[in-house]
A and B are shown apart, each in its own frame.
Chain A
């Protein structure tokens, strides 16, 4: 079991006004993980991983990061992380965006795009400008 942490990063922030771009999807679908944890999972950096919480699962791309404590992963805030974050607030109005137990499994599946995720929820992609 891992602990999922989400938050801002500078690259996420740079793309936040341009969320329909592929660049945003790249950033927001990154799963930062300690290199030793990657080794334990028998995975290489850049391989895809399915991250599953009690609420759902999503496919992300791994990126090794020694700044993280072992046993934790970090995903920039955005639609990918939110795909597995529970909408419960314990009567505070604030969901648990940090400190969420998740399971990681190697996968060969592709990452969805941000629009794929929105369409899964009943939305409609908007791509023409």
Chain B
């Protein structure tokens, strides 16, 4: 049986045109997907029942026991951290917020280690953006800055920019100019019309130089800025000003390097500056398929996109203090629930270390590096494969991920709903 227009739950592109062939409730073929999405759809090695760490080994336990362990862990904790959330659907994220509110814990998503700095910048200066179709149909200049879509978002260029049909472009591929700014010559840089190679840590200076040139103050700019010649910067500005519609996409190359959110602020202010000459927009390349959904859900429910601390009853937000990395590095939390993410692999060692010292429950379909720190892991159906729910694309467009096979395990929202119901019961909250 073939399912058409299936949504891919891998990256923030949320491609929704996949064709999945299913036989006997197993996926046997994926069409239209990229190599990353295909690997996820074809993945077979899931846990089949909850496991518990038992002295020097692991034992299989029932869902009942696993849920009970989680309820007790969260209710007994003084300062629980509820982390992850980017790998699950919105309905489960909503339950997570309610759970966190009930126990006065901290809830954070993988945002704090991807585009958290972008959000800090947006909170300073705003965000002139648009949906991806606006870019696809109009953009004649596309800038990829500190991101490598061909490897991290493999279909971004074919669906939304360079290789996509555009209503206002006769021959989109020829008419669109692509500028890539990076410290290394990535796969994406190879297909660029203009590759701008920056010395590591030089982004802020280059953005400032570009803003000066856009403002007509190019004579202030030195002959070379962070390894980029002034003439190349001037050429880049000319391309931008001549554009009818320019679109900037940026990635972790800006958020993770020296300057962090100040880099993003400068990039947004460049777009602001260019908006006085022509149409320009900017969009963060969100990584996880539903990391943006975690920001949306947390925001309408608590007022803040990530790193929310309920310990005083009210929602309190102060990234750098209430973000997962800092909470773990300070060894502040005394229990951790991890849903749909892998801090064992993706957090600095000094954070993962603390997970070994506290009770940890992991809700994830597959064994991950974080499994090593789990007291209990509860496997669930995979959202977008055997569970349904809402996801938000990198540009904020909400899409419902579907299920193509019948689940043999409960979904994230079912497991979390069960945990939350028992927490409410135990605390007399109705």
Report whether A125 and B184 are in contact in the complex, using a CB–CB cutoff of 8 Å: no
Report whether A97 and B256 are in contact in the complex, using a CB–CB cutoff of 8 Å: yes
Q: B43 near A: Cβ within 8 Å?
A: yes
Which residues of the other chain, A, contact B28 by a CB distance below 8 angstroms? none
Contact partner of B350 among A8, A19, A87, A92, CB < 8 A? A87
Which residues of the other chain, A, contact B373 by a CB distance below 8 angstroms? 118, 121-124
Report whether A93 and B348 are in contact in the complex, using a CB–CB cutoff of 8 Å: no
Min CB–CB distance B267 → chain A (angstroms):
16
| Interface magnitude class on chain B | 35 or more
Q: A55 near B: Cβ within 8 Å?
A: yes
Contact with B along A16-39 (1 / 0, CB 8 A): 111110000000100000000000
Q: What is the CA–CA distance of A117 and B56 in the complex, to the nearest angstrom?
A: 17
Contact with B along A98-129 (1 / 0, CB 8 A): 11000000000000001101110111111011
Report whether A126 and B58 are in contact in the complex, using a CB–CB cutoff of 8 Å: yes
Nearest residue (CB) in B for A118 is B372
Which residues of the other chain, A, contact B184 by a CB distance below 8 angstroms? 5, 67-69, 72, 74
* Secondary structure dominating the interface of A: loop
Of the listed stretches B19-27, B161-169, B195-203, B404-412, chain A binds B195-203
Q: B325 near A: Cβ within 8 Å?
A: yes
Q: What is the CA–CA distance of A19 and B362 in the complex, to the nearest angstrom?
A: 15
Nearest residue (CB) in B for A80 is B345
Q: What is the CA–CA distance of A62 and B116 in the complex, to the nearest angstrom?
A: 32
Report whether A18 and B366 are in contact in the complex, using a CB–CB cutoff of 8 Å: yes
Q: A1 near B: Cβ within 8 Å?
A: no
Report whether A93 and B325 are in contact in the complex, using a CB–CB cutoff of 8 Å: yes
Report whether B356 and A121 are in contact in the complex, using a CB–CB cutoff of 8 Å: yes
Report whether B325 and A95 are in contact in the complex, using a CB–CB cutoff of 8 Å: yes
Which residues of the other chain, A, contact B323 by a CB distance below 8 angstroms? 89, 93-94
Report whether A94 and B325 are in contact in the complex, using a CB–CB cutoff of 8 Å: yes
Report whether A7 and B366 are in contact in the complex, using a CB–CB cutoff of 8 Å: no
Q: Which of B240-281 contact A (CB under 8 A)?
A: 252-253, 255-258, 260-261
Report whether A98 and B348 are in contact in the complex, using a CB–CB cutoff of 8 Å: no
Report whether A82 and B346 are in contact in the complex, using a CB–CB cutoff of 8 Å: yes
Min CB–CB distance A9 → chain B (angstroms):
5
Report whether B260 and A97 are in contact in the complex, using a CB–CB cutoff of 8 Å: no
Given contacts A13-B36, A98-B253, contact A90 B260 (CB under 8 A): yes
Given contacts A55-B349, A85-B348, contact A69 B183 (CB under 8 A): yes
Contact partner of A87 among B117, B320, B329, CB < 8 A? B329
Report whether A94 and B113 are in contact in the complex, using a CB–CB cutoff of 8 Å: yes
Report whether A86 and B348 are in contact in the complex, using a CB–CB cutoff of 8 Å: yes
Given contacts A20-B367, A99-B257, A122-B356, contact A92 B349 (CB under 8 A): no
Given contacts A72-B184, A123-B373, contact A17 B350 (CB under 8 A): no
Chain A residues packing against B (C-beta within 8 Å)? 3, 5-10, 13-20, 28, 55-56, 67-69, 72, 74, 77-79, 82-99, 114-115, 117-119, 121-126, 128-129
Other 12 A-B pairs with CB < 8 A, given A72-B183, A94-B260: A10-B187, A13-B36, A15-B39, A19-B368, A79-B344, A82-B348, A88-B329, A95-B113, A96-B258, A118-B352, A126-B58, A126-B371
Chain B residues packing against A (C-beta within 8 Å)? 35-36, 39-40, 43, 45, 47, 51, 53, 56-58, 112-113, 116-117, 120, 148, 150-152, 154, 183-187, 189, 197, 199-201, 252-253, 255-258, 260-261, 287, 306-307, 319-321, 323-326, 328-329, 342, 344-353, 355-357, 366-369, 371-373
Give 7 closest A-B pairs by Cβ, nearest first. A122-B356, A123-B372, A93-B323, A91-B320, A87-B350, A118-B372, A93-B319
10 A-B pairs whose Cβ atoms sit less than 8 Å apart in the complex: A5-B183, A17-B43, A79-B369, A91-B321, A92-B116, A93-B325, A98-B253, A119-B372, A121-B355, A124-B58
